[in-house]
A and B are shown apart, each in its own frame.
Chain A
Amino acid sequence: MERMEAVIAGLVVIAIIVSASTLWYGVTVLSDVSKLTDSTAELTSSMVDLTEELASLAGTVGASLDTIEDVLARLRAVEATLTPTITVIGPWAGKEMDAFLPVLDRFEALYGINVKYKKYRAEELATLLPAQFAAGKTPGDVIFMWGWWIAENGEEGHVLDVTDLVDEADFLNGTFDPVKVGNTIYGGAYTGKVKPGFWYRKSFFTANGLTPPTTWAEFETLLADIAAIPGIVNPIASGDGVGWPLSDITEHFIITYGGPQLQRDLIAGTVAWTSPEVKTTVFEEKLVPLLTAGHFSDPAEWTTILKEWWDGDYGLYFMGSWITGMVDDPNDLGVFSLPGCEGLVFVADYCFIPTYTEHLDEAKELFQFLASEEAQRVQVAQGGHIATNIHVSLDEYPAVDRMVANLTTGKEVLLDLDDTIGGAFQSTFWEQLQLLWVSPGQLDAVLAAIEAVAP
């Protein structure tokens, strides 16, 4: 029994020890769990803090981004107010440039775009531009150039298609023909000049009892009368630059005695230069007899002979309407077309936008402005120019230019023959006319050479 009690007591002690150990272990575990809970709470708290910090940081970054965007927006606004300077290239220098600059001033005032003017003649540009374009560059944003050249380079992708920038209805009929390929327009028409006929000094005619002719016979008589005046070298001064003043005279004879349609046919290449209507009617019957009779002077540098004509060494001078800006007293100028003339050559100054411009929008603005009534009104008021935009009133012209503009009334306005065809034809045409002027006996060879390069 006692042994039994001893076993039970041992078991109780063991149970107590196990229970105490379990309890201790439980308490320890619970304590650890409690500590863990505290740590978790702390961690949670830290995470909350971190989240708050992150949120705060995100707010700060967001604010910074807002600030950056704000700064960028401001910069864009400043950039918008800082307009680029665009470059326009034209052929005018001296007095002609002085007459063009007010147009650019007007554009700057209206659009707030700065414009720099550079002077390059078309011949210089013909050398300069191909290399620039090949490199994808351009020396100007709006460039004045030959019409045929613009069309040719438009087809090759160097010139911007401006069909949507102009409305042909606002311009003289056919003005855009030289710069069109199919229905695509590559160039804009600025003002132009008329080649109305033979200019004379009113004072010279009055002093010598001369009057403008109304028939071919009267014209021949007039030339004979002028030739008889003491001190006269030749009745007509033949200006020569690269041959173009001679080509203007020739075209005037073609239009008058072959008719306006012949001029169009020769441009289109549907009539041969050696055909009777050209060779016989125009050259053999009209122009060549005057050359043979010595009524025309030898070709001489056109500005030099202009002065000599003005000084009375010659009686008549064939020139375009820009002559009004080149003489001392434009009011002393008179002009007549060959009797029976039904058409006049009008030469517009054409401009284009190169594909490679870095200021496309501004270039378009200037391009459209130059074609506008506003710009052309400013230009014609300076003298020497005739508007291509039909909305420019005759009242805007100086008196002498109004007289020239009036000459076109009732006459067909025609394109310049050699300017429209251009290329090898133009150079050959000029050179052959230089030859004809001093050797009229070589008419057949001259016409054959022209025909060889004609369209």
Chain B
Amino acid sequence: MMGAAVATMRRNLLLVPAIAVLGGLFLVPLVWFLVVSFYRVSLFQLVHEPNLSNYARIWSDYLGPIGYTAGISALIAVVTTLLAFVVAHLIWSRGDRWGNFLLGATLLTLFGGYLVKIYAWRTLLGREGIVNNTLVGLHLTDNPIDALLYSPLAVVLVLVSYLLPFAILPVYGALRPIDPTSLEAARDLGASPWGVLRDAVLPRIVPALLTAFALSFLVSAGDYVTPRMVGGTRTQMMGNFIESQFGLRMNMPLGAAMTFSTLLTSIAVIAAAWIGMRTFLRAK
């Protein structure tokens, strides 16, 4: 017995490096970051006196930007999750060469280069870009539309396009174990295609849909590169405000407080999405 216990203990030692990475490079920095959010800065030095002034400032000055960020991120997350479901369902239900082709395209875009994609969208949506040239060429508009680029719409387009492969894979992963022939039985017994989808498919993939939603929402809410590169000066998301506290303004405590306020809001939105999905995507 002693030997077995010692062996288990020795085996658990293998976890030590991973715990060191998770603890030392993730949990401890996060906790310290939370502590710093209660400090303040004076003459570029941290003042170690806990107070709520940063949060008070966010409450009075930044509720608007937080709401705006949550709104635009929720829009991106909803659109991404819906489209991801359509593509994942297509891959799953087809299962033939078409399905494999779509799955391959999804996997290949997964690691396609974040900044490069943003650059490509800039050239696509710009005044001289392909979208405007096509619109003018087809005489759909007389002059190029400037608002395609440097607008909230551009931020939504770019982020949805970037996030789709990350959302498709978990949803497809959840659909894959469902046997299409078991659903044919329901169809044979007279269930409508929509009925099968609602009662037999959607309730089984709620966790994957939530993963897709949460991932899309969190990445959007924490992004500052996309709004800066394609959003124009009017699209200021929380990521931009947070990032500027670590660049020009050098106010780490305020930046930390902004981060945790945004994270808390994100958790609330994701919890609401979870409750919503559990309520509406349930077998009747």
Are chains A and B native binding partners rather than an unrelated pairing?
Answer: no
Query: Which residues does B use to contact A, with CB under 8 Å?
Result: none
